[in-house]
Amino acid sequence: MNIVTIVGARPQFIKAAAISRVLRSRHREVLVHTGQHYDPNMSAVFFDELGIPPPDVNLAVGSASHGAQTGAMLAKIEDVLLAERPDWVLVYGDTNSTLAGALAAAKLHIRVAHVEAGLRSFNRAMPEEINRIVTDHVSDLLLCPSQTAIDNLAREGITSGVALVGDVMADALRLAAERADHSTLETLGIQEGAYALATVHRAENTDEPGRLRGILSGLATLSIPVIFPVHPRARRAIAALGWTPPPQMRLIDPVGYLGMVALMRSARVILTDSGGIQKEAYWLGVPCVTLRDETEWVETVTCGWNTLVGADPERIAAAAHQPRPTTPRPPLYGDGFAAERCVTALETWNVERKRGSIER
């Protein structure tokens, strides 16, 4: 098979690394980087560390408003697809790159496979929610990380072409944990279990000064050092606020994936608005405080290892200072071998469709 894979943001690089490793052993893949994340610390270092070959195509779209960015991607991806005429277009997650790739393929009648299908926050004010809903409804193969995701699709009338594969980020984390770069801790002069790790990047937080100020105020009250790798969007927003961090907060540049795994694994608590980090915290056994009002990864909350606090400073501080959970961590989102299941689902789609079990 000939596959075109669309990526544009660092969580997608992590997911693509797991699947590409399997896919390229059996098929041809053209990797297209939209350029949505173009900072070297957000992009190139991930390809190097994860062992992904350099992108075959870099569209270099960069930052823009949602409409302008998605439109630019759509036009450029269409050109690639017309040249390649792939059997499948593979998209990941819920970014503008995901939406543009899915729409470009669907309009050219090229089959779309969506990795991480079926996730819902039930908050349509989130751009990511719109992206994932539209992508799911134009996809032919929906590769779901959990039964909850399958149930969400069924409520929307999507029952054909749905496969439970687990979460490919578990595959990537399983491999990365063996190679985690602990020199990051030494460089920062921090000790295992003696700091909080924070990340903020979602537009609902960075583009709303009131929410961002609330989050920063909550982080500033923590009684332990806070290591805060700052996303470029967040850095611009913090500068616009004129906010100065207290001494125990260290705002650093984004780190590579292996360094980030080391920071996550050794943290006392993780505070984040990232969906991927919520899962990684759970798999690593580190308590998570989610800086949002809802989450797609509801199972981590139900298990007691993830607490939703929004942007309220008092709730942030209270959750971060909670004792470590004593509740068990049942296996969630697969066993670390989701990539193999994703590739097998692509390979068997035509066979299963002929048998009548998958309909377009």
pLDDT tens digits for range 10-47: 888 888 989 999 999 999 999 999 987 655 555 566 66
Residue-averaged pLDDT of the chain: 91
For the chain, domain boundaries: 2-167+334-355, 180-320
Q: Residue 58: phi, psi to the nearest 5?
A: -120, 115
Which of these CATH numbers, 1.20.1050.10, 3.20.20.10, 3.40.50.2000, 3.30.540.10, describes 2-167+334-355? 3.40.50.2000
Q: Which of 33, 114, 201, 231 is catalytic?
A: 201
On whether the CB atoms of residues 164 and 150 are closer than 8 A, the answer is yes
222-273 pLDDT per residue, tens: 999 999 999 888 999 999 999 999 999 999 999 888 899 999 999 999 999 9
**Domain 2-167+334-355 and domain 180-320 have a common topology:** yes
Q: Residue 165: phi, psi to the nearest 5?
A: -120, -15
Res. 350: pLDDT tops 70 = no
**201 catalytic per annotation:** yes
Which of these CATH numbers, 3.30.420.40, 3.40.50.2000, 1.10.730.10, 3.40.50.1000, describes 180-320? 3.40.50.2000
pLDDT at 359: 43
Q: Which of 245, 252, 240, 99 is nearest to 190 (CA)?
A: 252
Predicted model pTM? 0.83
Instruction: Give alpha helix (H) positions in 163-295.
Output: 168-177, 183-188, 203-206, 209-220, 232-241, 257-266, 275-284
Res. 360: pLDDT tops 50 = no
